[in-house]
Amino acid sequence: EVQLVESGGGLVQPGGSLRVSCAASGFTFSSYEMNWVRQAPGKGLEWVSYISSSGTTIYYADSVKGRFTISRDNAKNSLYLQMNSLRAEDTAVYYCARDGSTVTTFNWFDPWGQGTLVTVSS
């Protein structure tokens, strides 16, 4: 079964740092591009970051550029999001999501993990 499981969320003070992780199983992780998507409480979905299968190509949403760093460890089947200089507006459930295909350049997201809640508050 293809599965993504996030971990590492929690409460952090404004200006602080946190790293969330996503453990992948049931598929060849090193073949797929991966993404982070977040959802603030009661709000819609916001794409946060993309990383290519090899980790050499990375993109960020403007709202997190310069503060967040996406990375992956293909040997450990794991995806990471290092979040620094956190702000109250970064409070959200953070989902990891796999690109839906290895054939086309740009893809839909499938599957998604269950999400991990990050709360930025003093």
Partner 1 sequence: DIQMTQSPSTLSASVGDRVTITCRASQSISSWLAWYQQKPGKAPKLLIYKASSLESGVPSRFSGSGSGTEFTLTISSLQPDDFATYYCQQYNSYTRTFGQGTKVEIK
Bridge-based pairing of strands 45-51 and 34-39 is antiparallel
x/- contact string, 2-41, with partner 1 (CB under 8 A)? ---------------------------------x------
Interface region with partner 1, contact rule CB under 8 A, candidates 7-15, 23-31, 78-86, 112-120: 112-120
Interface region with partner 1, contact rule CB under 8 A, candidates 18-26, 66-74, 79-87, 111-119: 111-119
Q: What is the 3-state secondary structure (H, E, C) of 20-66?
A: EEEEEECCCHHHCCEEEEEECCCCCEEEEEEECCCCCCEEECCCCCC
Alpha carbon distance 88, 109 (integer Å)? 27
Q: Which of 8, 9, 21, 47 binds partner 1 (CB under 8 A)?
A: 47
Alpha carbon distance 14, 5 (integer Å)? 26
Token pair, residue 120, equals 């930025």
What is the nearest approach in angstroms of partner 1 to the Cβ of residue 55? 14
Q: Which residues bind partner 1 (CB under 8 A)?
A: 35, 44-47, 50, 57, 59, 61-62, 95, 100, 106-115
